[in-house]
Amino acid sequence: MRLGWLVLLVGAGAASSAWAADASQTGTAAAAPAWQGFYAGVYASDDITALHLAMPGEFSFDGIGGESGFGGALLGYNHRFSERVVGGAEIDAALAAGGSHLDASEDESYFNSSVTGDWGASITGRIGYLVSPDTLFYAVGGGVVAVASYGCTSNEFDCPARMQKTMY
């Protein structure tokens, strides 16, 4: 089994929460976020793409693209090491539905292939610098595991049956 680490990105995060609404009601300035403590969340996404490409009498690709959706949950913790330095860790898990596919045909020949994501999980760590009380620039790194299924059918090629692959 091969274990690979994925360095994700350097990004910026900004806090937005109920503390801003409290300030407008009382007429006082809102306190900056503490950038410390536990947090939890959920997320979901949906994606639909499709393309039809044909050259009459030569070939046709019908349905290059896919329909997919995923959703998951996350749990994390931030710790403020100093006035400007924040570190944290986060775990998340997601389930996926749908995937990408390719359907190709020419005369009597056909080839159908698909890849679907099944589930994934990650653990990440982050270290950041507060450029202002409510803006954190940070670097993230961590590891991920994902499981996908793939396969194809064809009357011209020897295709693998539907298989599942775990990736690290």
DSSP per-residue string spanning the chain = ----EEEEEEEEEE---THHHHHHHHTSPPPPP---EEEEEEEEEEEEEEEEEEETTTEEEEEEEEEEEEEEEEEEEEEE-SSSEEEEEEEEEEEEEEEEEEEEEETTEEEEEEEEEEEEEEEEEEEEEEEETTEEEEEEEEEEEEEEEEEEEESSS--PPSEEEEE-
Structure tokens given for 58: 């030569």
Q: Which of 50-64, 105-119, 150-164 has the lowest mean pLDDT?
A: 50-64
Is residue 16 packed enough to be buried (19+ CB in 10 Å), middle (13-18) or exposed (0-12)? exposed
Q: Which residue has the higher pLDDT, 6 or 34?
A: 34
State the pLDDT at residue 55.
66
Average per-residue pLDDT for the chain: 77
Closest to 106 (Cα-Cα) out of 157, 160, 56: 56
State the pLDDT at residue 63.
58
Q: Which residue has the higher pLDDT, 149 or 57?
A: 149
How would residue 160 be classed by pLDDT, with cut points 50, 70 and 90? confident
How would residue 88 be classed by pLDDT, with cut points 50, 70 and 90? very high
